[in-house]
Amino acid sequence: MHRFMPSIPLQPPLPVYRTDEIRRIEELARSSIDGPTLMERAGAAAAELACALVDGTRAPVLILAGPGNNGGDAFVVARHLKESWQRVSVVFTGDRAKLSGDASAAFEAWQAAGGETLTQLADGAARDAGLIVDGLFGIGLERDLAGGYPELVGAINESGTLVLALDIASGLHADTGRVLGCSIRAQHTATFIALKPGLLTLDGPDHCGHLHVRDLGLDLAALLPPRGMVIGSNVLGGVLPQRPLNSHKGTFGSVGILGGAAGMSGAALLAGRAALELGAGRVYLGFLDANAPSLDPLRPELMLRDAEEVFAMKELSCIVLGPGMSQSSAARNCVERALAADVPLVIDADALNLIGTDKDLQQACRTRSAATVITPHPAEAARLVAEPTSEIQQDRVASALILAQRYRAITVLKGVGSIVALPDGSFDINTSGNPGLASAGMGDVLSGMIGALIGQGAEPAAATYAGVHLHGLAADRLAEQHGGPIGMTASEVSATARAILNEAIYGEPKGH
């Protein structure tokens, strides 16, 4: 099946480091490791993967070596492939005199092995190769590609040849996933030491393909404990315990959904249905619309009320605030009252927009004693920090951390590679999901799912990790069942998520 997000192992969860942290690890490692240098280890690991990709065909391998240490890695790959009797050609775009010590040594070793180096790509060379190894630029790139690089990148992307990128696809910013002018589109990426955020979010997943992590034999936790992780599927099994036989509906919490202004009752209904399907014992929908429906014919188990009645309830274990809320004065009053409630809150949609334009509501959010989860998409996040949406997307990890700290809230910055950030400065990146989630109502379903898990007693951060990952896994299963992501609906996602959660907690269903 076609993968819509990077294919990486998720058990156990993998660490994610930003560029400055990778540089620090490299510094620490140089003084503590014996044997081959990190460049030699990286090149050997990538060469092994390259051999597997050409699968013994001895198809010609074209290697692009850039002007920095990524180019040095490429020379090591070239040498190992040549020693494996692979047909190799190398195009070097840098200046030998300006190479670093390790990269210069790698260049000399390549020459000593009888390797030849070209200075430009011959016509048809990219198209005729069985594999292209992209070693032009690595994680240090900060500026847009210029000079002859856009033309070279275009030739590689148009060749139709399988591409293996070293560390990260050339042209991508390693911390953010932004394309710097243009970028190689690789089908595989051998990333060294650890994952970087830019592989996993924004444009990264469209350019890096399948990710192969090579830690180069380093004990990362001992060298530099990570602040970031990839959310692994292990978050599902432990988010809720198996249910005791001696249970009743009150055992599994009562969730209130506040929203559903005139013309937008569907958003509240979607959130409420998702909360039911993820196991909440009771779900109350508090509508702002006086003419809202009194019954959901698809889910008559939902208890439909007006918002005032839901506020009067004392037994709520979680409130989901915002689906279909509007930005009216009544909605603003609803947000103010919910922020004052001593109950965990999941805040989405128009509730976030109201908070973003009201300093009193912002202060009320910051000073809450109960847990707060906010789930903005980039435009909502931009309103919360009074910045353009483009600024939020410039560095999604940094933006999520700013939101988490400013609002003292567990923050989900939605999008490709959703970021879950905590006020303590840690973050996680989710890699489940696909473009089918880009349709109406998906955010409402996510907020209802997280609310249901919290309502059943899950610790709020754990509920958020599990809800975000489960949301994406459900979309992936649906894409597999239907041959792709086109036409996926929010209602399908919550129903499929229920099945996956039960499998995670109770084990895979067995045949009879």
Q: What is the pLDDT of residue 508?
A: 66
Q: What is the pLDDT of residue 489?
A: 97
Q: Two tokens at 349?
A: 């949609």
Is 148 a domain residue? yes
Neighbours of 155 (CB within 10 A): 16
CATH code of residue 154:
3.40.50.10260
- Write the DSSP symbol of residue 468: H
Is 512 a domain residue? no
**194, 308: one domain:** no
- Whether 123 contacts 157, CB under 8 Å: no
HSE on the CB side for 282, CA within 13 Å?
A: 17
Which run of H or of E encompasses 30? Answer: helix 19-30
Neighbours of 292 (CB within 10 A): 21
Q: How many domains does the chain have?
A: 2
Choose one of 230, 261, 281: the last residue of a domain: 230
- Whether 16 contacts 193, CB under 8 Å: no
Is 323 a domain residue? yes
Is 207 a domain residue? yes
Q: What is the pLDDT of residue 211?
A: 96
Q: Two tokens at 250?
A: 């009150």
Using CA atoms, how far residue 140 sits from 18, 121, 180, 384, in Å, is 11, 24, 12, 31
Q: What is the pLDDT of residue 48?
A: 97
**136, 277: one domain:** no
**182, 268: one domain:** no
**445, 496: one domain:** yes
**Which pTM value belongs to this model?**
0.94
Q: What residues pair up with 258 in beta bridges, in sequence order?
A: 286, 321
pLDDT in tens, the chain (512 residues): 344 444 444 456 899 999 999 999 999 998 888 889 999 999 999 999 999 999 878 789 999 999 999 999 999 999 999 999 999 999 999 999 999 999 999 999 999 999 999 999 999 999 999 999 999 999 999 999 999 999 999 999 999 999 999 999 999 999 999 999 999 999 999 999 999 999 999 999 999 999 999 999 999 999 999 999 999 989 999 999 999 999 999 999 999 999 999 999 999 999 999 999 999 999 999 999 988 889 999 999 999 999 999 999 989 999 999 999 999 999 999 999 999 999 999 999 999 999 999 999 999 999 999 999 999 999 999 999 999 999 999 999 999 999 999 999 999 999 999 999 999 999 999 999 999 999 999 999 999 999 999 999 999 999 999 999 999 999 999 999 999 999 999 999 999 999 999 999 998 655 54
Which is nearest to 243 in space by CA: 506, 509, 64?
A: 506
Is 441 a domain residue? yes
Choose one of 180, 205, 230: the last residue of a domain: 230
Is 478 a domain residue? yes
**91, 36: one domain:** yes
Show the domain range for 137: 15-230
Give the separation between CA 138 and CA 262, rounded to whole angstroms: 52
Is 266 a domain residue? yes
**226, 247: one domain:** no
Within 113-176, where are the H helices?
125-128, 149-158
**317, 451: one domain:** yes
**Cβ contacts of 503 within 8 Å, gap of 6 or more:** 509
Neighbours of 107 (CB within 10 A): 25
**486, 362: one domain:** yes
CATH code of residue 437:
3.40.1190.20
**222, 249: one domain:** no
Q: Identify whether 12 is preceded by a cis peptide bond (ω within 30 of 0).
A: yes
Q: What is the pLDDT of residue 57?
A: 80
Q: Two tokens at 462?
A: 């754990």
Is 7 a domain residue? no
Q: What is the pLDDT of residue 1?
A: 34
**217, 254: one domain:** no
**114, 36: one domain:** yes
Q: What is the pLDDT of residue 2?
A: 43
**377, 491: one domain:** yes
- Whether 320 contacts 495, CB under 8 Å: no
Q: What is the pLDDT of residue 511?
A: 52
Choose one of 207, 230, 253: the last residue of a domain: 230
Give the separation between CA 480 and CA 345, rounded to whole angstroms: 33
Within 68-216, where are the H helices?
69-83, 101-112, 125-128, 149-158, 197-200, 204-208
